[in-house]
Each structure stands twice: as C-alpha cells, then as structure tokens.
Structure 1
Amino acid sequence: MSTVTDSPPAAPPSGAPRAVGARRAGSRRTALLRWLFIAPALLYMAAFFGYPLVRNVLMSFQHYTPTTYFTGEAPFNGLDNWREVFTDPLFTDALWHTALFTVGSLLGQFTLGLALAVFFSRGFRLSRPIRAVLLLPWLVPMVVAAVVWRRILDQEHGVLNSALRAVGLTEGGVPWLSSPGVALLAAVLVNIWIGIPFNMVILYGGLQEIPRDLYEAASLDGAGPWRVFRSVTLPLLRPVITVVLVLGFMSTVKILDLILALTSGGPADATQTLGTVTYQLSFLCLDFGQGAVAGNVLILISAVFAVLYLRADRADFGNGK
C-alpha cells in the first residue's frame, strides 16, 4: 500500500518581490510624468485665472480706491460693498436688463442661425459665396459693428428710419437709441445680427455629420419635412445645440463693448447690464471694491450655468447619448 506524503508548498520565486516593486515604481513614474505634462497648464491657470479670481473676491470686501495704488492701504469693510451694490436700484435694473438681453439674443441668434444652417445644408450653386458673405458680421470687430449700427439706427438721419419713411410705415422716425422703451430692443437686434453667423457655422457643421441614410429611411416611412426635422435632425443635433447655447450664453451675459459703443448704458440707464455696471463702478466711479462685487455676481452666474451644463452633459454621456 503506497503512502502519500504532503509536499511542502512551493516557495515563491525569488524574483517576484522585485517584479512587484518594479511595477509600483513604474506606476509612480507614470503618474509623475502625467503631472509633469499638465503642470504648465495648471501653473498657467493658477496664475492667470485663479489668482485674479481670488484677488477680485478679496477686493469686494475692501475699500479699494485709486489711493490704494499709491498707499497700499485697502482696509476691509466687511459686507459694506455688497450692501451698497445690492441696495442700489441700478443694480437690480441691470440684472433684469441682462436677463432680457441674454435670453432675447440667444433665442434670435439660435433660431435664425439654425434656419440658415438647414437652408444651406440642402446645397445649391451659390451656397458657398453666400455663406461667406453672411460671415462678415462675425468677422467685424464688435465696436465697429456697434458704431455702424448707431449710424443706421439714428432717428433723424439713419438709413433704417429713412427706409421706413419711404414705405410710409413711420413719419417722424423711430427713436431706436433715444427711447428707454426701445433702446434695449435695438441692442438685442444688433447683437442678434452679430451672433447669427457663429450659430449658423457651428450648426451647419453639425448637420453635415448626420447620416443621409436616416433621412432616406424617414422619407420612405412617409415622414414629412417637419416630422423628419423633429425626430431626426433635432435629436442628433442636440450636442451641437448645447455647445452653441453655452458659448452664446458665456459671450452674451458679459457683453460690454457693444452696449458702450451703441448706447453707453442709456438712455436713462435703460440698457445698463451687469457688464456696464461693473465698468461704471470700477472705471467711472473709481470704486473698485463695489466694481468687484458686480464682477463677482457676473462670474457666479456664469459658473452656475457652466456647472448645470456639465451635469447635463455628464448625464447624457452616462445615458449613451
């Protein structure tokens, strides 16, 4: 009868600990190399974005005036700057004007830009030169565009009122820039004119990425143009639409040069926005602490919108859209 003896467990190879140590060292080197690659970007962000942001927040709690640049003294005054700004009726009106200006501009730019993108996506002989001409408002500096439109909208000698009088729609001319009830609308219309090309170009590029087979299949199923647009075009264009709206919001909510060149915030503060109030408090009233408060509110609004966009984008990515 044979006897079975239990053999002792085999000892691990002598090189195993070395292999584990080598892998760990390699992982650490890889992580270090990753940090080294992104270090320049992090330093750039900290120096040119992080520091100004922190400095602006601190300034909003200080009595910061031109004298501070000579004496270096900027005593903290607690919430005095915030209280002064938030209790000022001009700031409340500027918030309302900013909301109207931003929403009106985005709706007009997106709607007309999408309509033109769909129109040009069909393709015809002169589509390219016409698209090139339509890009001109986007290429013109905003201050130049505002000065040109200020001349066009002049009540007495403007081209627009002259055309309206010629067709009998008005007699004395519309006070586009001199009436508190019309000036904000005029600013919105000018900003829509400036922003249409950007929306058109981005949305046109998104339309070109939609497979033509889907349109053919929908057509074979008997879907009409509106049904195809609603069921095929809009769902597949959603990521591009999100990008267009986010970028449009970021550029519109903080707009300054257009308002300054067009109306200077008037008449009777009818076109004052958060951007113009920040400029007025900082560079006209020379109260940099209160100007920092208005600027921080503008930054906070943009940050909240960006966070909501990122959360929505992450949710869409998680759902596989």
Structure 2
Amino acid sequence: MMTSTTETPARRAMRLKEELAKWTFLAPALLFLVLFFGYPIVKNVMMSVQEYTTRTFYTGEAPWVGFDNYIAVVSSSVFGTAMLNTLLFTVGSIAGQFTIGLALAVFFKKRFPLNGVMRSLMLLPWLLPMIVSSAIWKWMLDKDSGIINEILGVVGVDAVPWLTSTNVALAAVVIVNIWLGIPFNMTILYSGLQDIPDELYEAAALDGAVGWRAFRSITWPLLRPVVSVVLILGVVYTLKVLDIILGLTDGGPANATVTLATQSYKLSFANFEFGQGAALGNILVIISLVFAVVYLRVSHAEKED
C-alpha cells in the first residue's frame, strides 16, 4: 500500500503555528539588532557621504558629497600619524595583554591556597570605569608628583615625562591599556585551559613531556580556538579605545598619541565635522573587519594543514 505524501490541513496548520511561534520569540532580538546595531551603522554610512554639520540639526539639510569626506580625512596631515599610532598601540597592547594574560592563566591553573581570591583580585582593573582608571594612572605617571617617578627616584633614575614627552607618551598609554586588558585575556584563556583534560598531561609526563614541552604539544594546540577568539576581540576592542587616551593625553603631545579613534572623536565632537568623523569611523570598522577575516582564514588554513 502506498502512503500519501500530501500534507494534511491539520498538519499544515500545526507547522505554521510552530513557525509563527519561532518568529514570535525571535522578533524581540531581531528588533533590538535592527534598532541598536543596524540603524547606527546605516546612519553612520549615510553621514560619511554627506556634509553633516551642526547646521544639519536645525535645517535637516545634509548635502550629498560622495567620497569627499573620505578623501579629506585620508589626505589630512594627521591621518598618517594616527594610522601609525593605531598600529603601534594595537600591536603593543595585544602583545602585552595576551602574553601576560596567558602566563597568569597557566599560573592560576595550578592549585594553591588563595587561588580563587587572587584571581578575583586580578579582575579589579577590568571592573573599574575607564575614566576612573585613566585619572588614577594620570596621577601615577605625573612627572613631578607621580608615584612611578617617586619609585624610580629611589633607585636613582631621573624623572620621566611619561605623558608630556613625544618619545614616551605612546609607550605610557600602551602600558596602561595592557594593565586594563590583562584580566580579560586571563579570564578567557583560563576558561579555555579548564577544558583541557588533566589526563593528557599525565600521559605526556610518562613520556617525559613536561613544562615547556607539554605546553607546546598539548596546551597550545588545544587552546588555539580560544586564542583566536581572544585575539580577534582584543584587536577589535583595542582599535576603538578612546577614553583611556583622551583621559591620559588627549591625543598629545603634538599628536604623539593620536589614533584613528581619537581623531574620529575630535572631528565629530570638537570640530563638529560629523561627516568626516563618520568617514574615519567607517575606515576603522573596515580595518577591524579585514583583520578578523584574514586572521580567521589563516587560522583555518593552519588547522587544515
């Protein structure tokens, strides 16, 4: 006997109800994404191709200028410096945050008294508001009364103009950002280490693979998916760091710490050139997307090999 494959009206109605229920639950999330992510992105793109100034808020007029805003920000004398500073700031911050965070994650994987308390204390820099952290560090790095130079003076080192010298200001900002990013890296990497079975280390120890050999043969290969997430999120976050730099140096001295993010902010909210600020912000978004795509492709190719 052949079974008919025709869907009955009752079954069709049930399937439609199930689909409707799915979309009912998804609707709030989709609406949230459209309103708070989709609209700002589209609006920013539109502003970048318009002459959007303070006058626009009163008249509603924003003449179309095409790519003039992009040309203006790229040809600006500050763009090259901002691009180089962004690169140095990002590479230095990520290298320091990741290296120290991974070392601390491996350290805290070992069981010892007060392990949990110490890990909790390590999260404090991450929990403090950025503007508070920058204010504290600005006081600490002050040339005349900062605690850092006081300590250096004890060991016979002359006071360093951390935030007022074009030679060391960027390095000082990188150090502060490393301090802020260590807890995030440590927490995520520590979670990844917890998923690696201890039996693998015990079996490797029988073959003499301990210490660095165990890390290279077991820890690193199994931790790489987590490492990819940490690095991508770290780079995207670091590229848009704004408040720390503004709080410490305001992009100075002499543009020594200006980045694409701070320049985009100044164009929009200091010069009120919202179109150019939006254009520079879009360039920053494109750089972040390109890095994420390239890194994921390289990681995927290495896994296949």
Which AA in structure 2 matches 1:221? D
Instruction: From 136, 141, 161, give the equivalent of 1:153.
Output: 141
| TM-score where L is the length of structure 1 | 0.88
Aligned pairs for 1:1-321 (under 5 A) are 16=4, 18-19=6-7, 27-168=15-156, 170-171=157-158, 173-308=159-294, 311=297
RMSD over aligned CA atoms reads 2.3
Q: Distance in 2 between matches of 1:184 and 1:114?
A: 24
Q: Distance in 2 between matches of 1:19 and 1:224?
A: 62
Q: Answer with 136-145 or 275-284: which moved more.
A: 136-145
Which AA in structure 2 matches 1:296? N
Q: CA deviation at 1:258?
A: 0.3
The structure with more radius of gyration: 1
Q: CA deviation at 1:230?
A: 0.3
Q: Distance in 2 between matches of 1:255 and 1:208?
A: 30
**Secondary structure of 2:61's match?**
coil
Q: CA deviation at 1:148?
A: 0.6
**Secondary structure of 1:190's match?**
helix
Q: Distance in 1 between matches of 2:51 and 2:126?
A: 40
Q: Distance in 2 between matches of 1:303 and 1:26?
A: 42
Query: Is the alpha carbon distance of 1:86 and 1:154 closer, same or farther for their aligned partners in structure 2, counting shifts above 3 Å?
Result: same
Which AA in structure 2 matches 1:242? S
Query: Is the alpha carbon distance of 1:42 and 1:306 closer, same or farther for their aligned partners in structure 2, counting shifts above 3 Å?
Result: farther
Deviations 1:197-234, CA, capped at 9 Å, x for gaps: 11111111211211111001110001131110000011
Q: Distance in 2 between matches of 1:78 and 1:131?
A: 51
Deviations 1:130-178, CA, capped at 9 Å, x for gaps: 222222111111111111111111111111111111111x23x111101
Q: Distance in 2 between matches of 1:129 and 1:293?
A: 46
Q: Distance in 2 between matches of 1:285 and 1:258?
A: 20
Deviations 1:31-79, CA, capped at 9 Å, x for gaps: 4443333222222211211111111111111111101111111111222
| TM-score where L is the length of structure 2 | 0.93
Structure 1: which 5+ runs fail to align? 1-9
Which AA in structure 1 matches 2:91? V
Query: Is the alpha carbon distance of 1:87 and 1:122 closer, same or farther for their aligned partners in structure 2, counting shifts above 3 Å?
Result: same
Q: How many residues align?
A: 305
Which AA in structure 1 matches 2:171? L
Identity %: 55
